[in-house]
Amino acid sequence: MTTDTPNWGDAFVRVTRVRREKFVEFEFAIGDEDVQVELVLPYPMFMEFCELREATMLPTADEALLDFAALADKFQLSASTQSHKESR
């Protein structure tokens, strides 16, 4: 996939919370990790967002760590189940 995303500097992401077991609340910064905006995206869109921007993942907030790990596991399991069904 090609994009025309401008490169304004290094991108940083810090997960701060998981909402409704599917949305990732996170801080996003470009160039200076101390100046950020808060965003919320569904997990698959969050992963795509990070990949497109080649974002560095900063340590997840302690209160979100377990919820985010569970969400990632849930989507990995879902993806592997889907690919198994498609290979039949």
Task: Report pLDDT digits (tens) over 3-33.
Answer: 566 667 899 999 999 999 899 999 999 988 7
Domain ranges of the chain: 11-86
Helix (H) or strand (E) holding 4: none
Task: Give the Cα separation of 13 and 11 in Å (integer).
Answer: 7
Q: What is the pLDDT of residue 50?
A: 96
Q: What is the pLDDT of residue 84?
A: 43
Q: What is the pLDDT of residue 26?
A: 97
40-85 pLDDT, tens digit each = 999 999 999 999 999 999 998 888 888 899 999 988 876 655 554 5
- Record the pTM: 0.74
Q: What amino acid is encoded at 53 in this protein? A: R
